[in-house]
Chains A and B, each alone.
Chain A
């Protein structure tokens, strides 16, 4: 168990670090997939198998693919343009991140946390049942949110006639 935990922690942290530090954008996205998978591993370790499955499906399946698409749509994948480095805030950002770590870890150490592992597990059946009984309102609200977000995303990203003309015009001019 412990070994598995440390292995997972190393993998996840490496994935996260790679995602924010690597030079090549595609490598970043691949590293992010590693991170997502690591988080799913943690969920399995914590006996939340259903959430782990959702994590794989949504993050690795959908989000990572979307990110890769966005990278390809906005950048030239091979060559110099992917090598975008750090902005001018990097030292401040590093400092503030270290402060955040210190503060959070201190807070974790100074709390008395529950150390007892309760028996029994949450079944997918229970999750589904609760979702349409106790939590039916949040469930519906979030469905509306998701629908709205999807429609909004399509509208925002859609190439309208006007800016298409503009784009082709630009291309012709250059």
Chain B
């Protein structure tokens, strides 16, 4: 039997990899991919816990299902924004986009 902590550790490492992608990469699409990785890591946590906690098996899986749906919505809107921004400023390198300055 594989203990729960193994799954959680893998998920933690995946989360950190995603975070690194979000913070370090220049390309906006990759930043979005990093966010997807983080979300998947969180979902993995949910499913892993649902496997090991008898009372919450259904809840955990459903929660992950909702998480996947939200991630899908988010990626659609995110990529649409990337395309719109690309059309506007002709770049999707996030460090060239400095419009958040007040």
Q: Which residues of A contact B (CB under 8 A)?
A: 1-2, 5, 9, 12-13, 16-17, 19-20, 25, 28-29, 32, 35-36, 39, 42-43, 45-48, 50-51, 54-55, 58-59, 62-63, 66-67, 69-71, 73-75, 84-90, 92-94, 96-98, 100-101, 104-105, 108-109, 113-118, 122, 126-127, 130-131, 135, 138, 142, 145-146, 148-150, 152-154, 156-157, 159, 163, 167
Contacts and interface: CB of A to CB of B under 8 A. Distances in A.
Contacts, number: 231
A87 B24 contact: yes
Contacts of A88: 95
Contacts of B3: 113, 115
B17 to A, nearest CB: 4
Contacts of B33: 19-20, 28-29, 32, 67
Contacts of A135: 62
A39 B44 contact: yes
Contacts of A104: 8, 12, 15-16
B50 to A, nearest CB: 7
A45 B10 CA distance: 14
A129 to B, nearest CB: 9
Contacts of A54: 65, 68
Nearest to A101: B16
Contacts of B6: 5, 9
A97 B20 contact: yes
Contacts of B2: 1-2, 5, 45
Contacts of A32: 33, 36-37
